[in-house]
Amino acid sequence: MNLDPLHLCLLLSAALFCAGLAGVLSRSGAIFALLGIELMLNAANLNFAAFWRHGQAAAPDPILFVLFSIAVAAAEAAVGLALVIAFYRHRRTSRLPAASRLKG
């Protein structure tokens, strides 16, 4: 079988996504989970760029979508880490199992 560059791009993105998924699922540190989620977001962005490069889209819309996605990822990281810090202030830990109660 012959591998198209697009195949390689999509496989790369799938592999990155699954690496992030494995990281999120196997650890219970909140910051580590955030890192894994960022990696998964990046993998999704890769797909947009790959389809733009090899697909039929002539307009730069996929690129703009990735730009927005990067901006939202930055917002997500900021809020997520603020939550981690606020949580740490209450419980002196940043591990997720400690966050099973809603009452502070």
Q: Encode 20-33: b = buried (16+ Cβ within 10 Å), e = exposed.
A: beebbeeeeebebb
User: Residue 40 corresponds to which tokens in the numbers above?
Assistant: 């998964």
Cβ neighbour number for residue 69 with a 10 Å cutoff: 15
The yes or no reply on residue 99 touching another protein (CB under 8 A) is no
The DSSP code for 29 is B
Site for another protein in 33-92 (CB under 8 A): 34-36, 38-39, 42, 45-46, 49-50, 52-61, 63-64, 66-68, 70-79, 81-86, 88-89
Q: Which is nearer to another protein, 1 or 102 (CB)?
A: 1
User: Least Å distance between CB 100 and another protein?
Assistant: 13
Tell whether residue 98 is a contact of another protein (CB under 8 A).
no
